[in-house]
Amino acid sequence: MLATARQDFRAILDLVGDRSRVLDVGCGEGELLELLVRERRADARGLEISPHGVSACLARGLSVMQGDADRDLADFPTRAFDYVILSQTLQAVLNPRQVLLELLRIGERAIVSLPNFGHWRVRLDLLVHGRMPVTGALPEPWWSTPNIHLCTLRDFIETVAAIDLRIEACFAFVEGRAARAIDPAHPLENWRAESALFLLARRGEP
């Protein structure tokens, strides 16, 4: 999971333009925010649910608000950010569709990464053992996982289309390897990607 997060960060930094306004939803202790400030001179903000995480961010000089994606995104004004980032969190929110819409109300673009439940190892685990899969991208057993809305790449692109959002770019991750640009609609990628990162925009806008 950690390795995946680091891979995420690199790909996210590559997508974010210099001096952008960025909101990191679920920013943890602010590792990504700090990179965005240092390497992209971003005007960066964070939203984090744990008091410990918020405290750690404050000590790093980051502007972070306590809150969760389901409830508190409504507190941000419309189009306040160039990018809103939701890294490996969408599968843990109560209302993923609403959260996606909120991300693209607040931001011009959203960068969303999530584990792919269509990965071959997940499918094989379930097929062979008949148990909820535990893999590198999904390390927790069913009873302690925060992931309540897992989906496959295919599920995700269908949902994105249904709520009038558009995928501008997609990158696949397999543990230990660099991000690879993919066409998420290609059936093979739904087998190969352990997790994926999407750059999303509102449909019908340049």
Task: Name the minimum Å distance from CB 39 to other proteins.
Answer: 17
One of 45, 109, 119, 192 touching other proteins (CB under 8 A): 45
Can you tell me the distance from the alpha carbon of 46 to that of 32, in angstroms, rounded to the nearest whole number? Answer: 10
Interface mask toward other proteins for 162-181; x: CB under 8 A: --------------------
Minimum separation from the CB atom of position 77 to other proteins (A): 5
- In the chain, DSSP assigns E strands to 21-25, 43-48, 63-66, 81-87, 107-115, 165-173, 180-181, 195-202
The secondary structure of the chain in percent helix, strand, coil, rounded to multiples of 5, reads 40, 25, 35
Nearer to other proteins, 54 or 199 (CB): 54
Choices 72-80, 166-174, 180-188, 193-201 (CB under 8 A): range interacting with other proteins:
72-80
Q: Is 135 one of the binding residues for other proteins (CB under 8 A)?
A: no
- Out of 2, 51, 144, 204, the only residue in the binding site for other proteins (CB under 8 A) is 51
Q: Does 80 participate in binding other proteins (rule CB under 8 A)?
A: yes
Does residue 15 contact residue 113 with C-beta atoms inside 8 Å?
Answer: no
Q: In the 3-class helix/strand/coil scheme, how is 108-163 assigned residue by residue?
A: EEEEEEEECCCCHHHHHHHHHHCCCCCCCCCCCCCCCCCCCCCCCHHHHHHHHHHC
Question: Closest CB to other proteins among 63 and 135?
Answer: 63
Asked if residue 60 binds other proteins (CB under 8 A), the reply is yes
C-beta of 76 vs 198, nearer to other proteins:
76
Six-digit token string for 147: 């992931």
| Chain residues that interact with other proteins, rule: CB under 8 A | 45, 51, 54-67, 72, 75-77, 80
